[in-house]
Structure 1
Amino acid sequence: MTGTPPLDGMRVVELSSFVATPLGGMTLAQLGADVIRVDQIGGGPDIDRWPLAPSGRSLYWAGLNKGKRSVTVDLRSREGRELVAGLVAESGVVLTNAPPRQGLTCEELKAVRPDLVHVRLQGTRDGGNAVDYTVNAAMGFPLVTGPPGQETPVNHALPAWDVACGLYMAVGLLAAERHRLRTGEGQCLRVALYDVALATAGNLGHLAEAQLTRARPRLGNHLFGDFGRDFATADGRVMVAVLTARHWRDLVEATGVGEVAAALERAFGADFREAGDRYAYRDALGGVLGPWFSSRTCDQVGETLAKTSVLWSRYRDFAEVAAALHDEPLMGRLDQPGIGVHLAPGSPLRLGDASMPPVPAPTLGEHTDEVLRDVLSLSADRIAALRDAGTIR
């Protein structure tokens, strides 16, 4: 990225683990903030979380901490917590999902930094424990995921609530920072994983639908409320989605099923320009379109549909995606210490023509001395004494 990044000059102390909070911190770091991740000596509970590189290092940890600085402190000791409180006093911004520790609560930290912006992730609004997997189970989505007739729940492989929560945390932090710039007032902001999932289910209409009509049934790979589904091809499988009358017209013309589709309209008294009718008769329409897809390869399907407005994609596994990363402008060559050279994503945010390439994650505790020296102005002798006492490493 050329020029000054938008969050240049902002320093954030992050006390975190797992997905949501590290993702929120990394999002800020990719925009130019100096994000200092503080961990217990030896690392937090996510330090060796799978997937692992051949070296045994966590690809998960490295992937969610790109561009940050790392400090390790004995958070169980009073002196260690005082060091962290000092970092907070100098930075004025905290992002955390760590268990509350004496001396590091928002209220205690505001005593030394009254304009503190403190963003805390909770499991539930009342402070109870929850993780993506339990929140998802409580929210209904596993019971509408999977094929019709499936009796047991089907969990989604993507930790969607963690991802959404991490981005909410970043947005909330920036909103609180803007409020501080305008008024001089700090904020103790809390985000609950359960609330983010509940809000999303409500915003997408799932909860109102269940209250006013009925709970949504399982649909397999069908698109609810319009025509969308997967089709087998001669060499794979594709997903096709129709969301507008134009999409439908183009799909009918491209596949040559116009006469049959018109006959179905007359037989059913339907109008397939309407989303509701396309959805109601999705099985019949799928039966009509299926032979066109099954008689063609994915490349042939793509060559035809690329000339239309129809939304489609071939199904790929992660290995296929990884094999094509050299063609992705988001990806950059990253030499991650302890893991090696691989292609990794930069920020998906694009500021004009500027790109934000990936920056390696720190090794655990890599910047402890540097941060204590530059941020807290500790002398070399003082840092050495802290190390000898086991307070830092």
Structure 2
Amino acid sequence: MTQPHRPVGPGDHVFLVDGSSFIFRAYYQSIRQDQKYNYRSDRLPIGAVRLFSTKLLQFVREGAAGIKPTHLAMIFDKTENSFRRDLYPAYKSQRKDPPDDLVPQFPLMRATVRAFGMIPIEQGRYEADDLIATYARQARERGADVLIISADKDLMQLIEPGVAMYDPASGEAGAKGSRGERKIGFAEVVEYFGVGPDKVIDIQALAGDSTDNVPGAPGIGVKTAAELINAYGDLETLLARAAEIKQPKRREALTAPENVERIRVSKQLVTLVRDVAVETPLDDLVLPNLDGKELAAFFKAMELTTITRRVGEICGLDVSAIEPDPRFVGPAGWQGREGEAALAREQEAAAATPAPSPATPSVAPGA
């Protein structure tokens, strides 16, 4: 399927989906459900793929938050070794490896996006958030509205007139730990950070982030950071006048040279890049026209019966006449995190292992 192309302009609605966070959300939601839906007949894990696919179909067909997109991008982290690791090697270094049954689903998520007729967006050296920030800026410069689909607080710095966030419902309605959908705008950012979106970077530079191993200033949390930024106006003014602070601990946290360096590094880490030289042009992120046969073939290979039937209904197809996509049937569906076939890896490893030398019979002394 050829990716459509249509210039973004006034009146358009650009959806930017944080695909990496969506993968993990789909996975953790799937493991709380009946496990019989989470594995193919050969035990290939597909639970996250199932929920990811269902949500993507909803975005394409119905949109979100009462808005139907004209352009839609699913954006992933290509690697954890972004340029931020060069600035601060400990950045995100404490994160655990993904669960074993999620690893083979990473390439399948990207295959899902391609089956929908879309381009999986990812780029070396940059995180998904940087690509989202860049596309959001480009779309606003063209006069389009932007909806960022994510619950990631780091993206709140991007909210402005014409740019909002949407956090889809999480979990089964009414179940413990479930959360209803919510749209995030200026008021929600102030409620979370105590400041508007234009000061979110200053708050995060001071408070740090244990999840991403961003150091921040010792002893300064989000609430204290908001008090300080609201009192002094911005981070640079605060640091210039930190010696005036009456509370000794706060004054030390903001004047000690090593702490000031931590704060400045933290600001670099949390500031999203808005001018990435993106490899896929904004205009190529057009909402796709679904190819029902390709989608149904992929979902059949995944043994996802319900969504296969749904695609048939939407596209007016007899899905019983469509064969599963052979690229994902059997061992071909088992791939490593980077998309390499597990079977090929095993064969290559076996070929590279020297054959054992024949055992030399032992000879008894004096024989």
TM-score (norm. length: structure 2) = 0.28
Higher strand share: 1
Higher helix proportion = 2
TM-score between both structures, scaled by the size of structure 1: 0.27
